[in-house]
Structure 1
Amino acid sequence: MAEVFKLDLTIDENDVIGGAKEVLNVIRPHWMTDCVRFKLFTDGITNKLVGCFNQNNNVDEDADGTSDDVVLVRVYGNKTDLLIDRTKETENIRLLHRYGFAPTLYATFRNGLAYEYVPGVTLTPESCREERIARLVATRMAQMHKVKDGSIGNREPMLEAKIDQFLKLIPPTFSDPSKHSRISKIFPSAAQLRRDFDDLYGKLRRLDSPVVFCHNDLLLGNVIFSSDTNRVTFIDYEYAAYNHQAFDIGNHFTEFAGIDEIDYDRYPSKEFQLQWLRVYLEEFNGESCTESDLEKLYVHVNQFALASHFLWAVWALIQAEHSNIDFDFIRFGEIRYNEYLRRRDEFLSLAYQN
């Protein structure tokens, strides 16, 4: 496995391009600085990402390029180390790269990492519904869920521990009084949120959804589609860990609503889900699936989608306190929490016949 440089460097969130140049001096010393074009990607709400394109080789940011021509440098958002085990993240990337699921990791630094550019485009609320792309995502997720490696570590589902971690990070009083006022009008106390989740998770545990190695954050921006190779690649393994199979799928379905203009009318219909889940199960099990298995997974996925809404609503409260990124995390959290409330009874009432 190629060497991963460990750089004693902290990149200023307000000068990510300057920091990227310092990274390139180490991992691409043969690149001529004057011939490197930098592009700051703006679709992330947690981290800052800059693409470094070696123009000496006539690579354009809209071209496929090669791993030698393009490097991505990701700078973590403020205080995100409270939420994410960064050591485990880099271990996951290296492990999943070995299995063909993640890009090559080139370097880590104190508040970020540099990795291989994956040619293609991120999914949109429109493209994720295209049959050929949906089939590719379902197949790829099933393949990842079959990864078994002794080095991954704890095989307990991460969901309960992650929610517990997040709830403990909600400040009793938000440092910005206006934010505190807004949040107090939308959300119950952390203690009440904990009681609500304990009740929800008690019901979800009884489903006995298989525990597999999951991405856990498969929003549309974390899926890269290449029309040239007709394949999808998953990126950003910050939250990758063992978890309930149905959570990973349900979480992905909730992301069909989009980020910039969230619209839960885009949540996939039962007909779409059953087609997607059939592709998934046939790849995961290596054989055709029964209608009973299909209906069972459909119920599991939609009920675990509630846990997805809950998780990211609580996550948004922590981001509202700490993030320096210009994004309305309170509004995001409100939308996710309201969708959890709106769908809770409906989804928990779903049933299937054995």
Structure 2
Amino acid sequence: MASVAGEWQIPMEARKEVQKLATEWDDVADSRALEVVPLKGAMTNEVFQIRWPVAGGEKSRKVLLRMYGEGVGHFFDRANEIKTFEFMSRHGRGPRLLACFPNGRVEEFIHARTLSAADLRDVEISALIASKLREFHDLNMTGPNTVHIWDRLRNWLIAARRLCSYEEIKAINLDLIEKEISSLENDLSGKEERIGFCHNDLQYGNIMIEEETKMLTIIDYEYASFNPIAYDIANHFCEMAADYHTETPHILDYNKYPDHEERKRFVQIYLSFSGDKADPVEVENLLASIEKYTLVSHLIWGLWGVISDHVNDIDFDYLEYAKQRFCQYWSRKAKTL
């Protein structure tokens, strides 16, 4: 759905920033003649394409406006996320940061297509994602190379308990989660783990492809941090169950979870990134670790859903989404471990 200026309202602070940018472009006659196009699929922030007609043609100038969602402080440190965004921008790995204001920012609009849910199952595109993710994990980011996932789980559990009523806690078994986190940490943490700078939210909406060059760009780094690379791949596999552009975007279909051969192909490409053939033992070990880390993915996004249900007013059934993730955790735990 597109709206001309005035029909779809954006906050005045955001409007001032985008108009300020447009005044610097010679081909934009009127910086106020902007069009606001809300983009579907975002569940943490509200995202808009802002565009202006340009003189002498059908083309337009475009930027991306990101309005921060309510309650995001429960999930991540915005200053760290901006720092990651700036690092990516400086090294040509993502969109440029054009402007910031208290409740959002303006980014370069990437002229590429956002992937669809079906794209994740395309053999060629999946191979590109495997290579791109390995490149992402190998980024020389500043900061301690320590695992964040366990602290994040515990912090999100504390936030979920604080927001939920006693009845809600009992209904979704939140009182059992702390023991599960400790058990998983004991089972999964080990010296042999490969740690990398992980995206931690590699769903299809956070990957863009330039059709002619087949160049991928990974975007949106809110949740990025150092973690076991097996967790990041596991989380990506879990995202294949989702399609956030349907009439019921919160509904997950785990029949779409990739089978063993599909997962193996992805891991082989990931491990062969440097040009060396993947060692079969290393492939099998990573595959086994990935399957275990799917449990961590279910718990963390289940907690995310519970918190979001209380703090975010984006049109998405967060609580039902959370229940599905928790249900998947309990149904898969015994078999997976």
Match of 2:200 in 1: 216
Say whether residues 1:273 and 2:267 are aligned partners.
Answer: no
Quote the Cα distance in structure 2 between the aligned partners of 1:23 and 1:183: 42
Aligned-pair CA distance for 1:15: 3.8
Aligned-pair CA distance for 1:287: 1.0
Say whether residues 1:184 and 2:184 are aligned partners.
Answer: no
2:54 is paired with a residue of what secondary structure? helix
2:145 is paired with a residue of what secondary structure? coil
From 210, 230, 234, give the equivalent of 1:226. 210
Match of 1:158 in 2: 148
Aligned-pair CA distance for 1:127: 1.3
Quote the Cα distance in structure 1 between the aligned partners of 2:33 and 2:162: 50
2:65 is paired with a residue of what secondary structure? strand
Quote the Cα distance in structure 1 between the aligned partners of 2:257 and 2:183: 24
Quote the Cα distance in structure 2 between the aligned partners of 1:156 and 1:16: 39
Quote the Cα distance in structure 2 between the aligned partners of 1:49 and 1:186: 31
**Structure 1, residues 161-207: CA drift from partner, whole Å, max 9, x if none?**
11121112124463xx7xx7455322332xx2111111012111037
Quote the Cα distance in structure 2 between the aligned partners of 1:59 and 1:253: 40
**Structure 1, residues 236-261: CA drift from partner, whole Å, max 9, x if none?**
10011111110111111100011413
> CA RMSD of the aligned region, Å?
2.0
TM-score scaled by length of structure 1? 0.84
Alpha carbons 1:35, 1:56 under 8 Å: kept: no
Aligned-pair CA distance for 1:19: 4.7
Q: 201-210 or 44-53, which moves further after superposition?
A: 201-210
Q: Given the superposition, is the C-alpha separation of residues 294 and 59 from structure 1 closer, same or farther in structure 2, using an over 3 Å criterion?
A: farther
Quote the Cα distance in structure 2 between the aligned partners of 1:105 and 1:309: 32
Quote the Cα distance in structure 2 between the aligned partners of 1:128 and 1:331: 24
TM-score scaled by length of structure 2? 0.88
Quote the Cα distance in structure 1 between the aligned partners of 2:236 and 2:309: 23
Match of 1:39 in 2: 37
Quote the Cα distance in structure 2 between the aligned partners of 1:324 and 1:237: 21
Q: Given the superposition, is the C-alpha separation of residues 172 and 215 from structure 1 closer, same or farther in structure 2, using an over 3 Å criterion?
A: closer
Match of 2:3 in 1: none
Match of 2:317 in 1: 328
Q: Given the superposition, is the C-alpha separation of residues 54 and 173 from structure 1 closer, same or farther in structure 2, using an over 3 Å criterion?
A: closer
Alpha carbons 2:295, 2:329 under 8 Å: kept: yes
Match of 1:77 in 2: 69
Say whether residues 1:290 and 2:279 are aligned partners.
Answer: yes
From 197, 206, 209, give the equivalent of 2:181. 197
Quote the Cα distance in structure 2 between the aligned partners of 1:286 and 1:155: 25
Unmatched runs of 5 consecutive residues or more in structure 1: 1-13, 349-354
Aligned-pair CA distance for 1:17: 6.2
Match of 2:332 in 1: 343
Quote the Cα distance in structure 2 between the aligned partners of 1:322 and 1:173: 9
Match of 2:22 in 1: 28
Q: Given the superposition, is the C-alpha separation of residues 116 and 173 from structure 1 closer, same or farther in structure 2, using an over 3 Å criterion?
A: closer
Alpha carbons 2:23, 2:31 under 8 Å: kept: no
